[in-house]
Amino acid sequence: MKLIKAFYDRDTCQVARDLLGKYLVRIQNGIPLVVRITETEAYIGRCDKACHAYNYRRTQRTETLFAPPGTAYIYLIYGMHHCLNFVTEPEGEPAAVLIRGGQVRGGLDFISRNRFGKSPDELSAYQKKNFLNGPGKLCKALQLTRQQNGMSLPGNELFVCDCLEDVGLTTPEEDQNPLDIQTSKRIGIDYAEEAVDFLWRYMIPY
């Protein structure tokens, strides 16, 4: 079933861990594009200098971080890459989980064409290896942009669910194994002083 608002209305680091192995679904032209979430990062504005809303900083860009839990926060970096986040904790408390990477579980042909403009069998070994291993790659593959910023989860266009059967697919055996969750420092936040050392990046091998 779809994850409801209460799932996101919790401690951000716990939500980041609990999202691993779940399925991100983007409905595009009536087709479910499905990605198993394999990597996340937590950002918590009240104490985290890597968070856009550190110390409760409110701007036009960060306003979505103060929205109700279960809201999509999508921003643009380097003027070209979009990043998908899920707002967490109570409304008014700026915090979110960045979705950093995943594995395709449904709609492969559409996802491949979104990502590279090619069918899956036309991809090089390098392209297959680096298919969805980054937040910008994932957003491009799912055609997520600032137009979806502020979208409520769960919705009819974007949601997360527990199992593939929820979208009419079969869960592969490998997805049913216990999760081996690993933690590390987050990526690309050298400016964030002591927050650089927070072990708020979570991933499962694939």
The predicted-structure confidence for 125-134, as pLDDT tens digits, reads as follows: 999 999 999 9
Which of 146, 120, 147 has its CA nearest to residue 131? Answer: 120
Whether omega for the bond prior to residue 172 falls within 30 degrees of 0, making it cis, is no
The predicted-structure confidence for 107-161, as pLDDT tens digits, reads as follows: 999 999 999 999 999 999 999 999 999 999 999 999 999 999 999 998 989 999 9
CATH code for position 49: 3.10.300.10
Radius of gyration (C-alpha) of the chain in whole angstroms: 16
CA distance 25 to 27: 6
Say what the pTM is.
0.95
Q: How many domains does the chain have?
A: 1
Taking a C-beta distance cutoff of 8 angstroms, is the pair 7, 15 a contact?
A: yes
Handedness of CA 98, 181, 37, 88 (dihedral sign): negative
* Residue numbers of the domain that contains 20: 5-203
The predicted-structure confidence for 51-101, as pLDDT tens digits, reads as follows: 999 999 999 999 999 999 999 999 998 778 999 999 999 999 999 999 999
- In Å, how far from its chain's centre is CA 93? 19
